Amino acid sequence: MRKTIKVVVVAGARPNFMKIAPIYHSLVARKGEAASLGLDLSVQIVHTGQHYDSTMSDVFFTDLGLPAPDRHLEVGSGTHAEQTARVMMAFEKVVLEERPDVVVVVGDVNSTIACALTSKKLGVPVAHVEAGLRSFDMGMPEEINRKLTDAISDFLFVTEESGIRNLRNEGVPQGRIFMVGNVMIDTLLRNLVRIENGSVTPSTAVRTHCPVGSRYAVLTLHRPSNVDDRESMIPLWDAIRRVAREIPIIFPVHPRTRSRIAEYDLDTGEIALIEPIGYIDMLYAVKGATMVLTDSGGLQEETTVLGVPCITIRENTERPVTVEIGTNYLVGTNPDAIVSTALLVLLGKSKHGTIPPLWDGKASERISDIILKCFIDR
């Protein structure tokens, strides 16, 4: 009698989709191999709906070649407690109905901890992708999500050496930790080829603002600590405007940030604000940029691989390897530091980074190998 292995892969917010895509594709590609060993491999995608706007969600499924989710929980927005609770209640029904053999969660959003906790309480093993990353700032909701998810996960898939050190320092047994590389880079390298061979093309808006061979910067700014407080946002915006006087800046605006810009009556004259864009558009814009200014996590990694200087507008980073050997500058939120670092880049004096170990486009294959071997060896 053939044995069925059921894997549920969870995504909820925009950063998750780029991470689940290579894992999903890699697992599906293993179905033939599994069948030869007498195993029926089932892979399902659950979209919690934490990001529910089409510009923050649906476009990524199209860009990344993902099928429609097998389950869409449609939890929507709310406070951290409300959103986490809704995900847990909805995902519990999925786990009870599907009885998966393992649940794969990625990153550090509310859906990550909610689905991990629900699975663990129902006795289902949890695999956490991007385990061990730490900002050491417990004021960040993401840091809380990361630490709690790692504490209860059975498979901890790590992107960089700091993750191993952090997990070991927290008492996680070595046997649960796997250094696999970075699935975000799997997605980047796969889609970079698609852009370069012309099989996908960027939108008119991105081509207009990011002409080939021109100098421009890309901005993302959405972290609550930066944009949800007037006293924090206004000095940052003034610094960005000062940079924009030296180089054109394209800014795909997160909906919450756009509302804050309007609320604070900020002058956007020097900056090209556009609607949120999909993965292909963002990759096209970033790969040709002179620099990126950001407060996100993933762009710190992507710019390091692309060799693009990245100015991170945060006081800490959970991805230290991008600063230590990559192209990332952790400048904090001091306006003068932001401007002076940008001017250094514009003068051609930016550092030359190197690509971290195992950021080679094969992280998802390593993850699939480990998960399948676990069931084959049972």
The residues carrying an active-site annotation are 222
Token duo for residue 114: 């909610």
Tell me how many degrees the CA angle 102-108-114 measures, rounded to the nearest 5: 55
C-alpha 165: how far from chain center: 21
Rounded (10°) angle between helices 14-29 and 363-376: 60
Q: Is 375 in a helix, a strand, or coil?
A: helix
Residue 77: phi and psi, rounded to 5, are -90, 180
Distance between CA atoms of 369 and 356, rounded to whole angstroms? 21
Tell me how many degrees the CA angle 169-368-72 measures, rounded to the nearest 5: 95
Distance between CA atoms of 324 and 304, rounded to whole angstroms? 11
CB 326 within 8 A of CB 354: yes
Q: Please give the DSSP secondary-structure letter assigned to residue 290.
A: S
Nearest to 372 by CA among 116, 129, 41, 10: 41
323 contacts: CB under 8 Å, gap ≥ 6: 312, 317, 329, 330
- CA Rg value for the chain: 20
Token duo for residue 224: 């609550």
Distance between CA atoms of 371 and 224, rounded to whole angstroms? 36
Nearest to 244 by CA among 159, 166, 346: 346
Distance between CA atoms of 285 and 276, rounded to whole angstroms? 12
